[in-house]
Amino acid sequence: MSTLTIIANIIAKDDSIALVKAELEKLIPPTRDEEGCLGYNLFQDNENPAHFMFHESWATRELWQIHMENQHLKDFSAATEGAIESFILNEMTEIA
């Protein structure tokens, strides 16, 4: 079975870029310590600082689903309520 790759594109509202970035950065240490997390990397677009992207690798979809229910993600949602323009998450499988 291949690993699960998650690509999460987060667009912050223009007046909330610093807040969203700080809250996204808080997710990194606890997520990297989770069972099944093989990689969890945050990027910020060089041309559009409101655009953030997580590239995640998980051992299984089931372990990723457990991650999605963790308290630090609930805390992130509460802290950024009204600060995010869009959040698009894609589950991907590497083919080559």
The model's pLDDT over 20-64, given as tens digits with 9 standing for 90+, comes to: 999 999 999 999 999 999 999 999 999 999 999 999 999 999 999
Please answer whether residues 60 and 67 qualify as being in contact, where contact means their C-beta atoms are separated by less than 8 angstroms: no
Q: What is the pTM of this model?
A: 0.93
The Cα–Cα gap between 88 and 7 comes to 8
Q: Residue 16 is part of a domain; what is its CATH number?
A: 3.30.70.100
Q: Count the Cβ atoms, other than its own, within 10 Å of residue 12.
A: 25
The Cα–Cα gap between 92 and 7 comes to 7
Structural domain range at position 76:
4-92
The Cα–Cα gap between 59 and 94 comes to 13
Per-residue DSSP letter, 13 = -
| pLDDT exceeds 70 at position 1 | no
Number of domains in the chain: 1
